[in-house]
Structure 1
């Protein structure tokens, strides 16, 4: 299925092709993605209404999050992710648990590559969302993770954070595999809290 202009631009932002502060030019995007300017214009308007893009004079740029927005985003993310882990502990199939476990093992290969580890991290969290078997929760988490693309750096770039994060992932999977909803929920909430703490330190130049 051919992707529309909105999806193509969103994926480019999510993949770091366009970073916070980068200017998006209608003609350049149309040429880059091989589509006409009309769907690009409509996609840009849609992304602006979703606060993914911001106005800078007459130009549209990729938005960035200030300190308060970052804090608000992490509060929502922690609660929704914790709920996803709780539901996954109740509803995940044996196959889904196996996929999560395999992801943790495979992701160790990316410890020296923060960008690859960040992509692997998103896949891991998405798998937990799907294992919750709640389509409305998955939709809300998709919105949260879309906003996460507006962060210029990954907390996984901090020294030693990758190793710690994978240990936290393993603890989450262990709780889901055991069907322990309470432990899975708290393990994931603690994981997000630690990621937020690390990001704050990164932004403050403390790590």
Structure 2
């Protein structure tokens, strides 16, 4: 995967953006080794912007030092539990704020419709048994709800949590039972937002993330 010509010349930011997107989409597995040389060849850039981008990812906790290069950070059971607790509260707040904005008439109908469409895209990916597409559609839906909350500080906090937890998402969605369950949970969240019912939206979002945490635990324990 090469960078676009416009962003190629010595752009650490362009390399960083590509790598962050890959993390967010669950393209890297926990513990996977990343080297400057391999990434530079893959992105068709020099090693300097790759080194600088990896340094930023290291400071953010997405990678850890390895014997050669870095490795994708793997969450311990305890770390995952702490992140899911935080995520449940943040996503519950996002859904609550989005529903409140809907009740006040501050959400455009097209925005609410786009949430339903995002749920449909997750369902289509699940039915196609495409785990990676499901993970990407799932993240897109959660980001859309975060944006609908209308609080950029909350949205920034959510992005940080999503990036740290993205490496678990593909593993979760590889469980057919869980993958089929999320559509109903997503629809409950969006229904609460559409109805402008802040409490219903908040409760549905929190229950959804708490269920995701329970689905994750077997994977974390198996990795030990």
Q: Please say whether Structure 1 and Structure 2 have the same fold, judged by a TM-score greater than 0.5.
A: yes
Query: Is the 1:85–1:184 contact (alpha carbons within 8 Å) kept by the matching residues of 2?
Result: yes
- Residue 188 and residue 73 in structure 1: after superposition, are their counterparts in 2 closer, same or farther (change >3 A)? same
Corresponding position of 1:124: 141
> Residue 31 of structure 2 is aligned with which of 6, 21, 24?
21
How many pairs are equivalent?
205
Tell me which moved more, 148-157 or 61-70.
148-157
Query: Is the 1:118–1:154 contact (alpha carbons within 8 Å) kept by the matching residues of 2?
Result: no
State whether structure 2 residue 177 is matched by structure 1 residue 160.
Answer: yes
CA apart distance, 1:150: 3.1
Corresponding position of 1:5: 15
> Residue 143 of structure 1 is aligned with which of 157, 160, 168?
160
Question: Deviation string for 1:50-78 (max 9, x for gaps)?
Answer: 11111223531111100111001101100
CA apart distance, 1:105: 2.6
State whether structure 2 residue 120 is matched by structure 1 residue 110.
Answer: no
Paired with 2:141 and 2:169, the residues of 1 have a C-alpha distance of 20
CA apart distance, 1:154: 3.0
Paired with 1:49 and 1:191, the residues of 2 have a C-alpha distance of 30
- Residue 180 and residue 17 in structure 1: after superposition, are their counterparts in 2 closer, same or farther (change >3 A)? closer
Corresponding position of 2:61: 51
Question: Deviation string for 1:89-147 (max 9, x for gaps)?
Answer: 02232211111112223332222222221111101101000100111111110101110
Paired with 1:130 and 1:47, the residues of 2 have a C-alpha distance of 24
Paired with 1:48 and 1:203, the residues of 2 have a C-alpha distance of 22
State whether structure 2 residue 203 is matched by structure 1 residue 186.
Answer: yes
State whether structure 2 residue 89 is matched by structure 1 residue 79.
Answer: yes
Aligned-residue CA RMSD (Å): 1.8
Q: TM-score, normalised by structure 1?
A: 0.91
Query: Is the 2:146–2:158 contact (alpha carbons within 8 Å) kept by the matching residues of 1?
Result: yes
Paired with 2:153 and 2:26, the residues of 1 have a C-alpha distance of 27
Corresponding position of 1:31: 41
Corresponding position of 1:199: 216
State whether structure 2 residue 115 is matched by structure 1 residue 100.
Answer: yes
- Residue 122 and residue 15 in structure 1: after superposition, are their counterparts in 2 closer, same or farther (change >3 A)? closer
Q: What SS does the aligned partner of 1:133 have?
A: coil
Q: What SS does the aligned partner of 1:61 have?
A: strand
Q: TM-score, normalised by structure 2?
A: 0.84
Q: What SS does the aligned partner of 1:151 have?
A: helix
Tell me which moved more, 161-170 or 150-159.
150-159
5+ residue gaps, structure 1, are none
Paired with 1:13 and 1:171, the residues of 2 have a C-alpha distance of 28
Tell me which moved more, 20-29 or 60-69.
20-29
